[in-house]
Chains A and B, each alone.
Chain A
Amino acid sequence: MRRFAYHEPKTLEEASRLLVDLGENAHVLAGGTDLFVEIRERLRDVSDVVNIKNIPGMTDITWDPAVGLTFGALVTARQLETLPGVQRTYPNFAEALRLLASIQVRNRATVVGNLCRASPSADTIPPLIADGAIIHIYTPKGMRRMPLAEFFTGPGRTRLERGDIATGIVIPAPAPDSGRIYLKHGRRKAMELATVGVAVSLDRDGDTCTNARIALGAVGPTVLRASAAEALLKGRKITDELIAQVGAQAMAECTPISNVRASAEYRRSMVGVLTRRAVKTAMEATQ
């Protein structure tokens, strides 16, 4: 592993200042499950590691029926995954967590870290975007909040600027009659990066869909919203024909590439299969 300098700030202000002063090769350490692998495999140039684990206030998980679920940047994937409330209320998010890497990794990895890594194939991003999650960011000028759907700008890139630190996430409480699901397509049951990931969250009135959000993972430079496919669902009674149309529309909206994991054509056709399956399941799901 390449050498780096190590810092343990005690406050967000101190951490932020360090990140500004040390320049672009200073990186935040929370779980470290991506950062250290990337340093070791020389995928990222790192001059300084800024450990934020000693900063108070980012380990809480709170639930408020009006606000939803709030958790800090140091909360691990495994903590959230094993909460019965998360499994009950956000089964899509719980599934994404269950499918993320392995239990050993999830015991260390933070969800906010998975978001900030901004991989187009990150498992936690599609369900959180589909559920309208908000990310909280400390900036040198004060706190900001932003819909997670607007947070990503490209593979590995976010709207975080130098000195910014993501501090936590809020997932709004689900509507009373709603269904949500995350489907991951990979070739292994664990330690797998998604070839395609599809999250669908629907609000319902009987067999009519009143609102829909579809997020597609690993088929574009960032996780994508399939807005035209969502529009097809909104206010419509769900039939097999409509589901087929929605799947085809999602395929048209994604922009996959070919690589060693799969060809663009295969990924596109999986978007169709998974979107159809996800819409059907989300309509039938009981919350």
Chain B
Amino acid sequence: MNKPANNLRNAFSTIGKSVKREDVIEKVTGEGVYVADLKPVGMLYGKIKRSEVAHARIKRIDVSKALAYPGVKAVLTHEDVPRVLHYGSPHPRSVSCTKDQYILDDKVRYWGEGVAAVAAISEEIADEALDLIEVEYEELPAVFTPEEAMKPGAPQIHEVGPGGNLVLDPVRVERGDVDKGFAEADFVLEGEFSGGRPMPGYMEPNVCLADWDGSGKLTFWTSTQSSFMVRGILAEVLGLPRTKVRVLVDHMGGGFGAKQDCFQHEFLCALLARETRKPVRMEFTRCETFLAGRSRHPFKLWLKQGFRKDGTITARDMRIVFDSGAYGSHSPGVTTVGTNSATSLYRCENVRLDGRAVYTNTPIAGAFRGYGVVQTYYALDIQMDEAAERLGMDPADLKLKNAVREGDIAPSGHAIVGHGLEACIEHGTRVFDWKGLRQGARCPDPAASHVRKGWGLGCEMHGSSAYPGIKEQGNALIKVNEDGSVTLMTGAAGLGTGAHTALAQIAAEELNMPFESVSVVHGDTDAVPWDIGAFASHTTYLVGSATRMAAAEARAGILRRAAEKLQTTADALDMVDGRIFLRASPDSGLTVAEAMGPTPGIPSANILGRGTYEPTKSYSFAAHFVEVTVDTETGLVTVDRVVPVHDVGKVIHPIAAAGQIEGGIQQGIGHTLTEDYIIDTETGRSLNAGLVDYKMPLSMDMPDIDTVILEAAPDPGGPWGAKGVGEDPIIAIGPAIANAIHDAIGVRFHHYPITPEDILNALNEKERQS
């Protein structure tokens, strides 16, 4: 079945409206069930013993005391678990993954890695038993930064891979003639950039619950964004047919991309349950979400661009090195996407890029909202600001002049649809009063000369869907019920974003039935169609399109059934707001329930709509306008106001979309100013694995945000032109803040987080030099 054409109608009944989310009552009353709320009869508690060295061979591991401890039911070490080399990142349909991990190995590769697992009758006993496990290590030389890891003769962390501690072969991209481009430049800017180790900080720590039935089938509840991938890798590593693994996920307390690995604890939980023949639940502490979760990749980047006097970019040369930590996880994808992103955003015909990911003996970096692009565009956008300064141009004018345009070749290799970025910059410049503010005083109160204000702009573009890295596929089934309601069956996870509400809106819109008549069944691999996972800002775009196709098929089925009852043909009928009628006489007709329902002597109908959609890619765009205050005596930066302007093609649920944008800004402010998971570069120990000293901004720290959502560049690939919004906001806010700080105090920062201490040191240095 073909995808329905867009813009069939001008007026929409459901999409574009902020309908009440389908999960809102459960969530606000606390009735919503998360995996940590489940407690089947006889359930045991699993805990993981973690390494206290960064790189070592395990010489001896003695669990006898732990096993003898009252209440302990099982202990597993590397000697007890299947030894299968497997992927960490569950995208087996992608070429971009690395088989580099075992469930447990006789080697540890970072401080905090699991070395054994315990199941006991209480969490306290399991925790106490961990102390009774004796591990003797033979320490190995370790490397904690990519610089150390890439040195000739550096200790090798893995036996697999291309060598030199590379996770994958370098990603190289070349377009045009870079040397010629530099030769044509009037001036060249060159700079080094770097970034810390931000964590996703989801509210719900990783948690899973495993239960095996008498037939040898594993039922596995887990907080994951990609249930079918967890099923696939669990089955592969445990040596089971996929149908013997059922993965369930209901509500999730966030994921931000980082819950799309198959984690060590998930295998161990399943194996403890098999060993004890009891259900076992394993829940991370907050500390473990740092040690065993996934961070954004720390990075080092070198960027050189040539400019003409009119602001044209003549050449771009970039090298980026991502710190993958001890395992590959999503590094291949992040390196590919992050590196390729530098082909675009600001137009340049001559581009040469080199991206690498390097193993180090530090916690694992993985997928995280922004997926390599946060790092690249931080550098790219700040250097554009520098170019504007050099040219004596307004940065907004320079960015607008170079903004990616319709028909330009995107990082994915596609032609860009629409002028989304230009629209965002132009609109935001007006509503923020960019020009007016920038003409104002940087020191608003002469009596408080240490308080300075600045205004900055950051831009971004980001793809919905992971194509071409992954050949994507969205699936949906819609079942029409005998009471006239419909059930949408989808494998797309609901991370807390409101994705299921958006999908239900899309179904209701296409069916032309009330939103309330659509319910959603999700998160059960035994019941819903195969799903690739909720990532890459693609759920609304990809699964939304599949849902719309399924709804169109279901609608046709309903009309055929009604035609039988009315003894006419389906094409003589129409359905509006759930009422079916003859086009020729709109006043008479019947409801969907009357069409579908069993009546004496006539059974109900079996109507199923099916949608499968294999998209390419669309790009969303954003420009963030930021006002900051800098206290030049303390170095404290306050973000006072943000005007984020986003082009999302067609907005399905305005409040949910704005929620994504505000949340991305909150995370982005944290990454830029306060958040950094710090690893001691002498020992590899985590120095702030917890929310006391890993400082996420809280509600009190949030600025005023006046979100603007534009529908400037609808993409034919999404339902009614809709594109993604999940990742975009975290990308633009960072450079916007860095540029605003420069505007306030005249100092450039090429790294994040920019701490108060960095600000003071830079101001002192500036004073020394002048």
**Which residues of A pack against B, CB within 8 Å?**
1-3, 41, 185, 187-193, 260-263, 266, 269-270, 273
- Cα distance, A192 to B636, chains bound together (Å): 14
- Cα distance, A190 to B699, chains bound together (Å): 9
Instruction: Give the Cβ gap from B754 to chain A, nearest Cβ, in Å.
Output: 11
> What residues of A have a CB within 8 angstroms of the CB of B634 in the complex?
185, 270, 273
Interface check B85, CB cutoff 8 A: no
Nearest first, the 4 A-B pairs at minimum CB distance are A189-B700, A190-B700, A266-B757, A273-B633
The answer to whether A191 touches B690 (Cβ under 8 A) is no
Instruction: Give the Cβ gap from B531 to chain A, nearest Cβ, in Å.
Output: 36
In the complex, per-residue mask of B466-501: 1 if CB is within 8 Å of any chain A CB, else 0: 000000000000000000000000000000000000
The answer to whether A2 touches B124 (Cβ under 8 A) is yes
Instruction: Give the Cβ gap from B632 to chain A, nearest Cβ, in Å.
Output: 10
> What residues of B have a CB within 8 angstroms of the CB of A270 in the complex?
634
Total of A-B residue pairs, C-beta within 8 Å: 48
Contact of A187 among B124, B285, B287, B756 (CB under 8 A): B756
The answer to whether B678 touches A260 (Cβ under 8 A) is yes
> What residues of B have a CB within 8 angstroms of the CB of A261 in the complex?
693
> What residues of B have a CB within 8 angstroms of the CB of A3 in the complex?
124, 128
The answer to whether B756 touches A266 (Cβ under 8 A) is yes
- Cα distance, A2 to B123, chains bound together (Å): 9
Instruction: Give the Cβ gap from B515 to chain A, nearest Cβ, in Å.
Output: 35
The answer to whether A189 touches B757 (Cβ under 8 A) is no
* Interface hub of B124, B695, B697 (most chain A Cβ within 10 A): B695
> What residues of A have a CB within 8 angstroms of the CB of B700 in the complex?
188-190
Contact of A188 among B123, B687, B697 (CB under 8 A): B697
Interface check B674, CB cutoff 8 A: yes
> What residues of A have a CB within 8 angstroms of the CB of B287 in the complex?
41
The answer to whether A260 touches B693 (Cβ under 8 A) is yes
Interface check B760, CB cutoff 8 A: yes
Supposing A1-B124, A193-B692 touch, asked if A188 and B698 sit within 8 A by C-beta, the answer is yes
In the complex, which residue of chain A has the Cβ closest to the Cβ of B636? Answer: A187
- Cα distance, A263 to B128, chains bound together (Å): 36
The answer to whether B701 touches A189 (Cβ under 8 A) is yes
Instruction: Give the Cβ gap from B48 to chain A, nearest Cβ, in Å.
Output: 15
B678-719 contacts to A, CB under 8 A, are 678, 687-688, 690, 692-693, 695, 697-698, 700-701
Supposing A263-B757, A266-B756 touch, asked if A189 and B698 sit within 8 A by C-beta, the answer is yes
In the complex, which residue of chain B has the Cβ closest to the Cβ of A193? Answer: B692
- Cα distance, A261 to B123, chains bound together (Å): 32
Interface check B127, CB cutoff 8 A: yes
In the complex, which residue of chain B has the Cβ closest to the Cβ of A185? Answer: B634
Instruction: Give the Cβ gap from B598 to chain A, nearest Cβ, in Å.
Output: 53
The answer to whether A2 touches B128 (Cβ under 8 A) is yes
- Cα distance, A1 to B45, chains bound together (Å): 13
**A-B residue pairs in contact (CB < 8 Å), sample of 12:** A2-B127, A187-B674, A187-B695, A188-B674, A188-B697, A189-B698, A190-B700, A191-B698, A262-B756, A270-B634, A273-B633, A273-B634
In the complex, which residue of chain B has the Cβ closest to the Cβ of A189? Answer: B700
Interface of B is mostly: loop
Instruction: Give the Cβ gap from B577 to chain A, nearest Cβ, in Å.
Output: 45
> What residues of B have a CB within 8 angstroms of the CB of A269 in the complex?
760
The answer to whether B701 touches A188 (Cβ under 8 A) is yes
Supposing A41-B690, A260-B687 touch, asked if A190 and B757 sit within 8 A by C-beta, the answer is no
> What residues of B have a CB within 8 angstroms of the CB of A193 in the complex?
692
In the complex, which residue of chain A has the Cβ closest to the Cβ of B124? Answer: A3
Interface of A is mostly: loop
- Cα distance, A193 to B700, chains bound together (Å): 15
Supposing A187-B674, A187-B695, A188-B701 touch, asked if A262 and B757 sit within 8 A by C-beta, the answer is yes
Instruction: Give the Cβ gap from A11 to chain B, nearest Cβ, in Å.
Output: 31
- Cα distance, A224 to B616, chains bound together (Å): 64
Beyond A41-B287, A188-B697, A189-B700: 9 further Cβ-contacts under 8 Å?
A: A2-B128, A187-B636, A187-B695, A187-B756, A189-B698, A190-B698, A260-B688, A266-B757, A269-B760
Instruction: Give the Cβ gap from A194 to chain B, nearest Cβ, in Å.
Output: 12
In the complex, which residue of chain B has the Cβ closest to the Cβ of A261? Answer: B693
> What residues of A have a CB within 8 angstroms of the CB of B692 in the complex?
193
The answer to whether B760 touches A266 (Cβ under 8 A) is yes
Instruction: Give the Cβ gap from A261 to chain B, nearest Cβ, in Å.
Output: 6
- Cα distance, A154 to B636, chains bound together (Å): 29
> What residues of B have a CB within 8 angstroms of the CB of A187 in the complex?
636, 673-674, 695, 756
Instruction: Give the Cβ gap from A29 to chain B, nearest Cβ, in Å.
Output: 18
> What residues of A have a CB within 8 angstroms of the CB of B756 in the complex?
187, 262, 266
- Cα distance, A266 to B762, chains bound together (Å): 13
Instruction: Give the Cβ gap from B565 to chain A, nearest Cβ, in Å.
Output: 58
- Cα distance, A1 to B678, chains bound together (Å): 26
> What residues of A have a CB within 8 angstroms of the CB of B124 in the complex?
1-3
- Cα distance, A262 to B756, chains bound together (Å): 9
In the complex, which residue of chain A has the Cβ closest to the Cβ of B131? Answer: A42
- Cα distance, A188 to B634, chains bound together (Å): 14
> What residues of B have a CB within 8 angstroms of the CB of A191 in the complex?
698
- Cα distance, A270 to B693, chains bound together (Å): 19
In the complex, which residue of chain B has the Cβ closest to the Cβ of A1? Answer: B124
- Cα distance, A273 to B687, chains bound together (Å): 28
- Cα distance, A266 to B635, chains bound together (Å): 10
> What residues of B have a CB within 8 angstroms of the CB of A262 in the complex?
756-757
In the complex, which residue of chain A has the Cβ closest to the Cβ of B761? Answer: A266
- Cα distance, A263 to B758, chains bound together (Å): 11
> What residues of A have a CB within 8 angstroms of the CB of B688 in the complex?
260
> What residues of A have a CB within 8 angstroms of the CB of B128 in the complex?
2-3
Instruction: Give the Cβ gap from B446 to chain A, nearest Cβ, in Å.
Output: 16
B89-125 contacts to A, CB under 8 A, are 123-124
Instruction: Give the Cβ gap from B698 to chain A, nearest Cβ, in Å.
Output: 6
* Interface hub of B678, B692, B693 (most chain A Cβ within 10 A): B692
In the complex, which residue of chain B has the Cβ closest to the Cβ of A37? Answer: B692
In the complex, which residue of chain A has the Cβ closest to the Cβ of B125? Answer: A3
Instruction: Give the Cβ gap from B704 to chain A, nearest Cβ, in Å.
Output: 14
> What residues of A have a CB within 8 angstroms of the CB of B673 in the complex?
187
- Cα distance, A3 to B125, chains bound together (Å): 9
Instruction: Give the Cβ gap from B589 to chain A, nearest Cβ, in Å.
Output: 55
> What residues of A have a CB within 8 angstroms of the CB of B127 in the complex?
2
In the complex, which residue of chain A has the Cβ closest to the Cβ of B676? Answer: A260
In the complex, which residue of chain A has the Cβ closest to the Cβ of B691? Answer: A191
In the complex, which residue of chain A has the Cβ closest to the Cβ of B694? Answer: A260
- Cα distance, A190 to B701, chains bound together (Å): 8
- Cα distance, A185 to B635, chains bound together (Å): 11
- Cα distance, A2 to B688, chains bound together (Å): 22
- Cα distance, A188 to B688, chains bound together (Å): 16
- Cα distance, A3 to B697, chains bound together (Å): 33
- Cα distance, A28 to B767, chains bound together (Å): 52
In the complex, per-residue mask of B590-619: 1 if CB is within 8 Å of any chain A CB, else 0: 000000000000000000000000000000
Instruction: Give the Cβ gap from B281 to chain A, nearest Cβ, in Å.
Output: 16
- Cα distance, A263 to B678, chains bound together (Å): 14
> What residues of B have a CB within 8 angstroms of the CB of A263 in the complex?
757
- Cα distance, A189 to B701, chains bound together (Å): 6
> What residues of A have a CB within 8 angstroms of the CB of B757 in the complex?
262-263, 266
In the complex, which residue of chain A has the Cβ closest to the Cβ of B631? Answer: A273
* Interface hub of B287, B693, B756 (most chain A Cβ within 10 A): B756
> What residues of A have a CB within 8 angstroms of the CB of B690 in the complex?
41
B278-293 contacts to A, CB under 8 A, are 285, 287
In the complex, which residue of chain A has the Cβ closest to the Cβ of B757? Answer: A266
B121-145 contacts to A, CB under 8 A, are 123-124, 127-128
In the complex, per-residue mask of B628-645: 1 if CB is within 8 Å of any chain A CB, else 0: 000001111000000000
- Cα distance, A263 to B635, chains bound together (Å): 13
> What residues of B have a CB within 8 angstroms of the CB of A41 in the complex?
285, 287, 690
- Cα distance, A2 to B122, chains bound together (Å): 10
> What residues of A have a CB within 8 angstroms of the CB of B760 in the complex?
266, 269
